[in-house]
Structure 1
Amino acid sequence: MLDRPAPTAAAALTLRRGAARVLIDNWTGSSTVPSRTLYPHQWSWDSAFIAIGLRHLSARRAQRELESLLAGQWADGRIPHIVFNPALPPDAYFPSPDFWQSSSTGRAAGAPPSPETSGIVQPPVHALAAWLVHRADPAESRRRGFLTRVYPRLVAWHDYLLTRRDLGGAGLAAVVHPWEPGMDNSPCWDRALQRVEPAAPDAFHRADLNHGNPADRPTDLDYGRYVRLAADYREAHYDDRVARHRFAVEDPCFNALLIVSELALADMARDLGRDGAPHRTRADELTGRLVSRLWDDTAGLFRVRDLATDTLVDERSVTGLVPLVVPHLPDDLVKRLREALDGPHFKAASTWLVPSYDLTGHAFDPQRYWRGPAWFNTAWLIQRGLRTHGLGTDAERLRQGFLAEAARSEFAEYVDPATGAARGARRFSWTAALTLDLLRSDPEESTP
């Protein structure tokens, strides 16, 4: 495979200015929306990725991004996947604040009286983002007491995941809705979703189809199941101790990001004059559990575990490759994952990005959301993982592919892995933010 040339200085400057303009345009005054049309509120893991890029423009604005998200944190420690903007009409997005009813139905679980939020979560990349933001301008961070304020909140977030969400009893965090791992309609969830009776079609209105191509989005059947699961969780007052979770899985990406963020908490603790050893111990223990619970040696990648059947799901997805980001992953597993990236299931030679699902899989669709298209945030995570494990040539190839496709697609939400055709929303915030990060002058700056 021939390497793509790095962008010229002029092209890199144009790309940087374009990415910065996306983030400026999507800024609301306290946070950044993923998209002005399709996603008009604040999303959890989006804001973490956005902060990682914003730190190259303004460390203080990056801090505010995370602080705004944490203002919606619940007393039980969970960081909700959406923090709603009260200035927008209720029908701007569905499920709306009126559906989630966080301030009333979620009160017993610790939901704040305001702002209104959803009741579910997203992957825990926040501590990594907070640590990188701090490192961008330590003096400003210390002047504002940034780490002092966010560290205990992030500790509570991890504690929630490893206590209330240890539904399998084996020490990994479980997700209870397909929206929680962030890969909403991945084929990895299909088997578990078959156990869920969908909500009636007239019980909800899909605002996403007002701005998104139906061919790009989840089907009505899947959406009905998402609504049913969210409604059931709401009826249990979002209490994980009593909720009957008909969907519960252990996801490799979710837990890998928890490990990386535990290591970031260790660094934060050390910077604050505290003992970081407990976080490093926890990260080591989680790494062992990730390998023992979710590694499939025959397939050479990590799998999702369905807790209803206590079996691994026989699907190859990008979630099984993201654990490359874990620093102390065994060397033989790193080798197998690198081989998987370069094999027939994930090698998209045209774009060099990583498809979200097996190119040869029965459910592959190059257009529909997480069922095949290549995403920029997972590419960022995988290139970080490759660099972490000393695979600099592979990481640089993926970085150059990322930058080329971000420029060509006008910072699309995701792209067709074969053709590079832009899909989903355009001028998407995390694509722009992570473009800024990969344009930094020192490619080693944000790796461990």
Structure 2
Amino acid sequence: MTALLDRPARTAAADLTLRRGAGRVLIDNWAGTSTVPSRTLYPHQWSWDSAFIAIGLRHLSARRAQRELESLLAAQWGDGRIPHIVFNPAVPNGAYFPSPDFWRSSTAGAGVGAPAALETSGIVQPPVHALAAWLVHRAHPAESRRRGFLGRVYPRLVAWHRYLLDRRDLGGGGLAAVVHPWEPGMDNSPCWDGALARIAPADRGSYRRADLDHGHPADRPTDLDYGRYVRLAVDYRDAGYDDRAAAHPFRLEDPCVNALLIASELALAEIARCVDGDAAAHEARAARLTEALVARLWDADAGLFLARDLVDDTFVPARSVAGLVPLLAPGLPGDVVERLVATLAGPSFRATATDLVPSYDLTGPAFDPTRYWRGPAWFNTAWLVERGLRTHGLHARADRIRAALLDTAGASGFAEYVDPTTGAARGARSFSWTAALALDLLTPEETPR
């Protein structure tokens, strides 16, 4: 793959081919009421995947994009949480682990309002959903109003944010915390290594990894880390998924999760204006979250936001793409924005072969260009950084990431992620959010990005 400076300008024919390919992926992965991330590795509905998928689907079918989000929100728990997986009952338990019989949501989670008629996981993923709902509405406002889309999803999204800001403010500083490495979405990031080292892994004979049936072991988490993931999930389940009763030996404040909460609070403000909600309250909440994000997670020496380990109240020194996603927050101080852009352009995150953003510091001791979230470039985080740059008027830099994302998505067969040093496809192919976000970047918005 050529370096950015040698990248040829995109043509209308190339864009049409990419658009058709992306649309085909989303059509093929549609499962009736939602879209699977991939037909092989991920046969159920995932939370933040569905949000990103809806953002792309809105350009094919506003109705289908609405259904994508509505089907996810139908699995919301009584305490407000949106589970990270909604299980398809037609898929055998052995096709994916952890499966419904592991999570036991309808029984173990009954005390905190898990649905009785649906099986889900008990943990969550980053809150992209309100942003997705607002973008879906904007794609076809008349259809959205006809179906009462915003009026139906708004109270559920408000409850979701309330859960994060109440039950998950485990540090007392006004930010939402994660309690499992799967929750921030960047499952195998080196950011979690120190916290995971405190966790005794589950017995290897107590579970079977289904992910290795479809993914190469060199690309996937190690057995040791996977055993720790299982142990954390088992302990949370056995505490009834009750955040007030669980010990939470793994608890961190993640900059990406909280940046998306800010962006989604601002989206809720826009939604509130359409449904007679309290827009000012959402805007004030976004401002408070921004202040807390800078106060608690900004590290001027590192030049980006870092996760905070709440067990010992210290910064996690690992530098990941999560620390750049706060560019989404329009209220960031100007000097913070300048430092973030300098970090993005510096040796740690400037992947010259692809011009995509690696998931972990290219110069860091744990960098691995192919292993899950330990270095590969992902298309959803590239989309978030691209959008964040435009939030601050940095359109030239955003244009470069957009061009790289579109070129690499097509060349990789809409791969799950790519080696940032070569552009080689890794993980699953025909991956839904890759196709969806490529489709989104191919389609001009009615207002500037």
TM-score tier by shorter-chain length is: over 0.9
User: Quick one: which of 99, 102, 116 aligns to 1:99?
Assistant: 102
CA–CA distance in structure 2, aligned partners of residues 445 and 400 of structure 1: 19
Which digits, 9 at most, give the CA deviation of each residue in 1:364-396, with x for residues without a partner?
000001000000000000000101101000000
User: Quick one: which of 200, 203, 212 aligns to 1:200?
Assistant: 203
Superposition deviation, residue 35 in structure 1: 0.4
Q: Is the 8 A contact 1:34 1:46 kept in 2?
A: yes
User: Do structure 1's residue 123 and structure 2's residue 126 form an aligned pair?
Assistant: yes
- What's the counterpart of residue 408 of structure 1? 411
Superposition deviation, residue 4 in structure 1: 2.6
SS at match of 1:369: coil
SS at match of 1:370: coil
User: Do structure 1's residue 212 and structure 2's residue 249 form an aligned pair?
Assistant: no
- What's the counterpart of residue 236 of structure 1? 239
Superposition deviation, residue 207 in structure 1: 0.3
Q: Is the 8 A contact 1:413 1:427 kept in 2?
A: yes
SS at match of 2:40: coil
Supply the AA of the counterpart residue of 1:272: V
Closer/same/farther in 2, CA of residues 242 and 446 from structure 1, 3 Å limit: farther
- What's the counterpart of residue 378 of structure 1? 381
Superposition deviation, residue 3 in structure 1: 6.2
Which digits, 9 at most, give the CA deviation of each residue in 1:340-362, with x for residues without a partner?
01101010011000000000101
SS at match of 1:78: coil
User: Quick one: which of 29, 37, 51 aligns to 1:26?
Assistant: 29
- What's the counterpart of residue 55 of structure 2? 52
User: Do structure 1's residue 422 and structure 2's residue 425 form an aligned pair?
Assistant: yes
- What's the counterpart of residue 341 of structure 1? 344
Q: Is the 8 A contact 1:4 1:397 kept in 2?
A: no
CA–CA distance in structure 1, aligned partners of residues 285 and 9 of structure 2: 39
SS at match of 1:183: coil
- What's the counterpart of residue 17 of structure 1? 20
User: Do structure 1's residue 432 and structure 2's residue 411 form an aligned pair?
Assistant: no
Q: Is the 8 A contact 1:346 1:359 kept in 2?
A: yes
- What's the counterpart of residue 2 of structure 1? 5
SS at match of 1:260: helix
User: Do structure 1's residue 84 and structure 2's residue 113 form an aligned pair?
Assistant: no
- What's the counterpart of residue 370 of structure 2? 367
CA–CA distance in structure 1, aligned partners of residues 93 and 278 of structure 2: 45
- What's the counterpart of residue 288 of structure 1? 291
Supply the AA of the counterpart residue of 2:154: Y
Q: Is the 8 A contact 1:53 1:434 kept in 2?
A: yes
CA–CA distance in structure 2, aligned partners of residues 446 and 308 of structure 1: 42
User: Do structure 1's residue 316 and structure 2's residue 319 form an aligned pair?
Assistant: yes
Which digits, 9 at most, give the CA deviation of each residue in 1:23-55, with x for residues without a partner?
000000100000000000000000000000000
CA–CA distance in structure 2, aligned partners of residues 281 and 409 of structure 1: 42
User: Quick one: which of 131, 135, 143 aligns to 1:132?
Assistant: 135
Which digits, 9 at most, give the CA deviation of each residue in 1:395-448, with x for residues without a partner?
000000000100110100000001000000000000000000000134x7463x
CA–CA distance in structure 2, aligned partners of residues 254 and 25 of structure 1: 30
Superposition deviation, residue 88 in structure 1: 0.8
Give percent identity, aligned residues only.
75
Which digits, 9 at most, give the CA deviation of each residue in 1:166-214, with x for residues without a partner?
0001110000000000000100000000110000110110000000111
SS at match of 1:222: helix
- What's the counterpart of residue 165 of structure 2? 162
Q: Is the 8 A contact 1:72 1:114 kept in 2?
A: no
CA–CA distance in structure 2, aligned partners of residues 412 and 219 of structure 1: 21
Supply the AA of the counterpart residue of 2:120: T
- What's the counterpart of residue 306 of structure 1? 309
User: Quick one: which of 59, 71, 77 aligns to 1:74?
Assistant: 77
CA–CA distance in structure 2, aligned partners of residues 192 and 446 of structure 1: 40
User: Do structure 1's residue 112 and structure 2's residue 115 form an aligned pair?
Assistant: yes
CA–CA distance in structure 1, aligned partners of residues 206 and 120 of structure 2: 20
SS at match of 1:212: coil
Q: Is the 8 A contact 1:80 1:122 kept in 2?
A: yes
CA–CA distance in structure 1, aligned partners of residues 241 and 322 of structure 2: 26
- What's the counterpart of residue 177 of structure 1? 180
Gaps of 5+ in 2: none
Q: Is the 8 A contact 1:132 1:446 kept in 2?
A: no
CA–CA distance in structure 2, aligned partners of residues 330 and 16 of structure 1: 37
CA–CA distance in structure 1, aligned partners of residues 373 and 276 of structure 2: 42
Supply the AA of the counterpart residue of 2:309: D
- What's the counterpart of residue 193 of structure 2? 190
Superposition deviation, residue 92 in structure 1: 1.2
CA–CA distance in structure 1, aligned partners of residues 444 and 169 of structure 2: 41
CA–CA distance in structure 2, aligned partners of residues 446 and 199 of structure 1: 49
User: Do structure 1's residue 266 and structure 2's residue 254 form an aligned pair?
Assistant: no
User: Do structure 1's residue 441 and structure 2's residue 420 form an aligned pair?
Assistant: no
CA–CA distance in structure 2, aligned partners of residues 275 and 176 of structure 1: 30
Give the aligned length: 446
CA–CA distance in structure 2, aligned partners of residues 209 and 6 of structure 1: 39
Q: Is the 8 A contact 1:325 1:381 kept in 2?
A: yes
Which digits, 9 at most, give the CA deviation of each residue in 1:5-27, with x for residues without a partner?
33210110000000000000000
- Scaled by the length of structure 1, the TM-score of the pair is 0.99
CA–CA distance in structure 2, aligned partners of residues 274 and 91 of structure 1: 44
Q: Is the 8 A contact 1:43 1:82 kept in 2?
A: yes
Please list, as runs of the form range in 1=range in 2, the aligned pairs for 1:219-258 lying within 5 A after superposition.
219-258=222-261
- Scaled by the length of structure 2, the TM-score of the pair is 0.98
CA–CA distance in structure 1, aligned partners of residues 448 and 85 of structure 2: 27
Which digits, 9 at most, give the CA deviation of each residue in 1:131-171, with x for residues without a partner?
00001111111111100100000000000000000000111
CA–CA distance in structure 2, aligned partners of residues 114 and 255 of structure 1: 31
CA–CA distance in structure 1, aligned partners of residues 261 and 117 of structure 2: 27
Superposition deviation, residue 272 in structure 1: 1.2
Please list, as runs of the form range in 1=range in 2, the aligned pairs for 1:381-396 lying within 5 A after superposition.
381-396=384-399
Gaps of 5+ in 1: none
CA–CA distance in structure 1, aligned partners of residues 150 and 38 of structure 2: 28
CA–CA distance in structure 1, aligned partners of residues 372 and 327 of structure 2: 23
